[in-house]
Structure 1
Amino acid sequence: MQTIALFDLSTDPTARPMQRRAPLPLGELPISSVPAAYYGEHLYSPKADTAALVDHRPGNRFPPLPTSPSGPKAWNDWWRTEASVPTPDYLGLEPGDVVTVVGSGTATVMSTCRFGALVRYALPPSPWADRTHGEMYVTARNQFGHWYR
């Protein structure tokens, strides 16, 4: 089963919205609402403290995410006002996209924000489990096209 990792967005106004997009080749920086960079063949969005040190493509809508502060109250404020701000995409991922997540298999992108993409994946059936799905944020993609945090 082939999964989509990054996407080339169509500029054709007559294109159907549910049309499957072609994956971008590994190593190519996506056009995204957040900054995009490569390091050691891994795609990620650089934070403000490292963006000046690495070559990166600026985000179309957002600058690099400020580094998270320490302390529960400061971190909570940072999460609400900076990190969890909704975005149209995260490094080319959009809600509804299907990706491969390291250690979890196939997952569906549920939402995107400046911090990353929230994905949902199926949990193995178990008589002790009360949930059928798990969720996690993915923030980077490795050289094999698999996403992770």
Structure 2
Amino acid sequence: MQTIALFDVAPAAPAPTKRRTPLALGELPVSSVPAAYDREHPYSPPARTAAVIDHRPGDLFPPLPASPSAPKAWGAWWREQASKPTPDFLGLETGDVITVVGETTATVVSTCRFGAVVRYELPRSPWATETHGEMYVTARNQFGHWYR
């Protein structure tokens, strides 16, 4: 007797992951945001810092202006300037697999002028309800690990 399946469920092939190899020390990434080095750590310098240091200009964006201190003005600055989506952040693109400090593997979820949002797996725990965490990364150390 032959049965008819309502759904043809085949295991989905895992999506290919892009793993970035860290750039050599002293090599600035080609990026849509400005790039600079500080003690062997690449980062995107803000406007006040970029004015006084050597840096590689961004392909699409100038250095991020300083944030205002007033709460409403800061919110507008965040929405209109800092969190503006970019194609990459210091060479990181959505879908890249990187390591964050502590050698935790993380996947880049999105990029903006301020940094890149990454998602990483949390350790399993009987009392934890979340399986993943998210954080911004804004710089990379000399060992290739990203951090904020």
Give the shorter-chain TM-score range: 0.7 to 0.9
Matched, 1:136 2:110: no
Query: For the residues of structure 2 that align with 1:22 and 1:148, how far apart are their CA atoms?
Result: 16
Which residues in structure 2 correspond to 1:110-125 (within 5 Å)? 110-125=109-124
Query: For the residues of structure 1 that align with 2:29 and 2:67, how far apart are their CA atoms?
Result: 24
Q: Which residue of 2 aligns with 1:147?
A: 146
- Counterpart of 2:65, as a letter, is P
Q: Percent identity, aligned pairs only?
A: 76
Q: Which residue of 2 aligns with 1:70?
A: 69
Cα deviation 1:72-91 (Å, max 9, x = unaligned)? 21111011000000000000
C-alpha RMSD of matched pairs (Å): 1.8
Determine helix, strand or coil for the equivalent of 1:27.
coil
Q: Which residue of 1 aligns with 2:99?
A: 100
> Normalising by structure 2, what TM-score?
0.84
- Counterpart of 1:38, as a letter, is Y
Determine helix, strand or coil for the equivalent of 2:119.
strand
Which of 113-122 and 125-134 deviates more?
Answer: 125-134
Extract unaligned runs of 5+ from structure 2.
1-16
Matched, 1:87 2:96: no
Instruction: Please report how far the alpha carbon of residue 26 of structure 1 lies from its aligned counterpart in structure 2 after TM superposition.
Output: 3.0
Cα deviation 1:38-90 (Å, max 9, x = unaligned)? 01101000000110111100000000001111122111101100000000000
> Normalising by structure 1, what TM-score?
0.83
Extract unaligned runs of 5+ from structure 1.
1-17
Where do 4+ consecutive residues of structure 1 move more than 3 Å? 18-23
8 Å Cα contact 1:119/1:137 also seen in 2: yes
Query: For the residues of structure 1 that align with 2:56 and 2:26, how far apart are their CA atoms?
Result: 13
Q: Which residue of 2 aligns with 1:35?
A: 34
Question: Relative to structure 1, is the Cα distance of residues 125 and 22 closer, same or farther in structure 2, using a 3 angstrom cutoff?
Answer: closer
8 Å Cα contact 1:104/1:121 also seen in 2: no
Which of 22-31 and 46-55 deviates more?
Answer: 22-31
Query: For the residues of structure 2 that align with 1:43 and 1:112, how far apart are their CA atoms?
Result: 16
8 Å Cα contact 2:20/2:96 also seen in 1: no
8 Å Cα contact 2:22/2:144 also seen in 1: no
8 Å Cα contact 1:26/1:145 also seen in 2: no
Query: For the residues of structure 1 that align with 2:119 and 2:82, how far apart are their CA atoms?
Result: 19
